[in-house]
Amino acid sequence: MAIEPSLLDTCTAHLKICLKNIHKVIQKANEILCSISQPSVCSEVLLSSRGADYISGVVEVYRLSKRMEGGMKTHNIDCERLGFILRDIELSWNNLQAFLSICPSLLLALPSQSVLDYAAEGVFSDLSPCLQSCCGVCLMDRPVEETPSEVKTGMLNVGGHPYHTSCANFWLHCVDSTLPVMACYSNCSACMRLKNYDS
């Protein structure tokens, strides 16, 4: 099902601002590590508890970009501008992984690419899920693995709209103080059933 043009514009603007902020966070991590001139000092910083916590946070931000990519595939959102930002995020992430390679124990703690491949999970046939049942940030309609132990958690419900905890956290701290609320397709079968049930 194709998204209506006005809704597509809203989704694209929403995704663009979030992805740009994700890129800024990962780029900032690269700048910080690049400013450390000696590998031994960089290794010491990364292996400290604060350094490990910081990298863990950056990993979670990268995971959000992969969920957003999966949400885009789920809803058939194919936008060249968003593709460029996703490519920049991947380049920054690959650069960051090169810094992390000086600490093999940190590399082992990173989630595997298969765990991050929400895009493959996000491919639906003709039927996109109801946007009002999807996370208002990443547009994925299911709980996700929020922790390294891959324990599935539910979604937060804020003002009657669902959000993954990490998605809401990133949006509120790095994008805007108000969580985004997505309208749904005018011909969404789930919304139509709900309207018929209520009447």
pTM for the full model?
0.81
Tens digit of each residue's pLDDT, the chain (199 residues): 455 666 778 888 999 999 999 999 999 999 998 888 787 887 888 888 898 889 889 989 999 999 999 889 888 888 899 999 999 999 999 998 887 777 766 666 666 665 566 654 544 444 566 777 889 999 887 665 544 433 445 688 898 889 999 999 999 999 999 999 877 766 665 565 555 544 4
CA angle in degrees (0–180, nearest 5) for 115-118-119: 130
Contact between 144 and 67 (Cβ < 8 Å)? yes
What is the residue extent of each domain of the chain? Answer: 5-198
Cα 122 to Cα 142: distance, rounded to the nearest angstrom: 10
**CA nearest to 140, candidates 152, 148, 149:** 152
